[in-house]
């Protein structure tokens, strides 16, 4: 089938685009290269360097006539969303509506929307959290991901545009950048390899740092492949359901690298949740999905990538 991958020059979108191509699909990438890179764009894909807010998105989708739009393009930083809510809403809401309008008029069958299980639910009382928990977002980024999911429901009801929403936990792996504000795994690995001292952000009463659910990018890729023809009209958590503090993550990385540097500590950043852990049973039931990687095997793959770059 023909698939448009927005954000296909970024960390996760480029890994997903590679897998779609390897599975024999035609891939068209739309990315404005604001945080993505030209060198991540698979040469076998058709590439448009365009903003998803652009009026030209409509003519691109009409020309390409894709079956599925896999929407990874986003302002993807929680602290940036809190500092600049208009910027976040422009890409993550207005840009998404622009894409949905064009998807409908160009005859696309389905949208795979990338939501955030790591942010959407807020400080959830249900822990690990299922998709049934009512999200109480605590950042602009999370609010706008929730709004995106509501739009999906509207477009399916109004125009019959099918969708699957994938609520990723904290994704890590090859191609994640270490100079952004997200991506603690790549930040720790790159700093340690350079002999620099990484910083653990934390709340004073949570000395080991935030609890997160770290999922390896190839597992996330597998969820996108499954969502091409499964999971109609539903949202799914994509995580490991294994809690990991920032300190435990740090220890895993330093042990695998055999580099022991005592980290610095700093205050939690704007919008940082204390705890996040996802129950993924629904994805197993409907998508036949479960993670193949645990933290140890995923970190080993990621370290290999950073050492070989």
Report the interface residues with ligand NAD, using CB under 6 A: 7, 9-13, 31-36, 51-53, 72-76, 91, 95, 114, 116, 118, 168, 170-171, 182
Alpha carbon separation from 134 to 122, 137, 246, 293, 305 (Å, rounded): 10, 9, 26, 28, 38
Q: Given the structure tokens 């995106």, which residue do they identify?
A: 148
Strands 68-71 and 211-212: unpaired
Closer to ligand NAD by Cβ: residue 149 or 261: 149
Closer to ligand NAD by Cβ: residue 51 or 252: 51
Tell me how far, at minimum, the Cβ of 98 lies from ligand NAD, in Å.
Answer: 9
Tell me how far, at minimum, the Cβ of 116 lies from ligand NAD, in Å.
Answer: 4
Tell me how far, at minimum, the Cβ of 8 lies from ligand NAD, in Å.
Answer: 7
Angle at 153 between CA 28 and CA 61, to 5 degrees: 20
Helix (H, G, I), strand (E, B) or coil at 210: coil
Candidate list 87, 121, 127, 141, residue with the active-site label? 141
Tell me how far, at minimum, the Cβ of 282 lies from ligand NAD, in Å.
Answer: 17
Q: What DSSP assignment string belongs to 277-299?
A: -B--HHHHHHH-------HHHHH
- The answer to whether the CB of 9 falls within 8 A of the CB of 33 is yes
User: Quick one: tokens of 98?
Assistant: 């622009």
141 counts as catalytic: yes
Closer to ligand NAD by Cβ: residue 218 or 261: 218
Closer to ligand NAD by Cβ: residue 13 or 198: 13
Closer to ligand NAD by Cβ: residue 15 or 254: 15
Per-residue buried b or exposed e for 233-266, using 16+ beta carbons within 10 Å of the residue's own CB? ebbbbbbbbbebbbbbbbebbbebbeeeeebeee
Torsion sign (Cα): 30, 35, 39, 40: negative
Tell me how far, at minimum, the Cβ of 260 lies from ligand NAD, in Å.
Answer: 27
Q: Which residues are annotated as catalytic?
A: 141
């Amino acid at each position: 089938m023909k698939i448009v991958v927005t954000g296909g020059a970024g960390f996760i979108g480029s890994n997903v685009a590679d897998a779609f191509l390897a599975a024999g699909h035609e891939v068209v990438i739309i990315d404005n290269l604001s945080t993505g890179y030209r060198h991540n764009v698979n040469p076998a894909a058709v590439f448009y360097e365009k903003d998803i807010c652009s009026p030209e998105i409509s003519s691109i989708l009409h020309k390409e006539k894709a079956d599925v739009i896999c929407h990874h393009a986003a302002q993807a930083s929680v602290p940036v969303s809190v500092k600049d809510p208009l910027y976040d809403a422009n890409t993550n809401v207005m840009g998404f509506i622009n894409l949905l309008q064009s998807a409908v008029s160009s005859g696309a069958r389905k949208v795979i929307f990338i939501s955030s299980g790591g942010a959407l639910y807020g400080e959830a009382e249900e822990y690990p959290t299922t998709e049934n928990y009512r999200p109480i977002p605590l950042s602009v980024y999370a609010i706008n991901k929730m709004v995106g999911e509501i739009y999906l429901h509207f477009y399916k009801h109004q125009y019959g545009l099918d969708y699957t929403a994938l609520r990723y936990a904290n994704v890590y792996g090859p191609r994640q950048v270490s100079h952004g504000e997200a991506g603690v795994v790549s930040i720790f690995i790159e700093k340690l390899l350079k002999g620099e001292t990484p910083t653990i952000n934390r709340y004073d009463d949570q000395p080991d740092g935030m609890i997160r659910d770290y999922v390896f990018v190839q597992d996330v890729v597998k969820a996108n492949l499954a969502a091409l023809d499964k999971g109609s009209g539903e949202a799914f958590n994509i995580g490991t359901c294994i809690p990991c503090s920032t300190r435990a993550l740090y220890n895993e990385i330093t042990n695998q690298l055999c580099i022991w540097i005592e980290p610095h500590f700093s205050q939690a950043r704007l919008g940082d949740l204390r705890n996040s852990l996802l129950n993924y049973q629904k994805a197993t039931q409907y998508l036949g999905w479960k993670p193949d990687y645990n933290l140890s095997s995923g970190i080993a793959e990621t370290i290999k990538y950073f050492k070989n770059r």
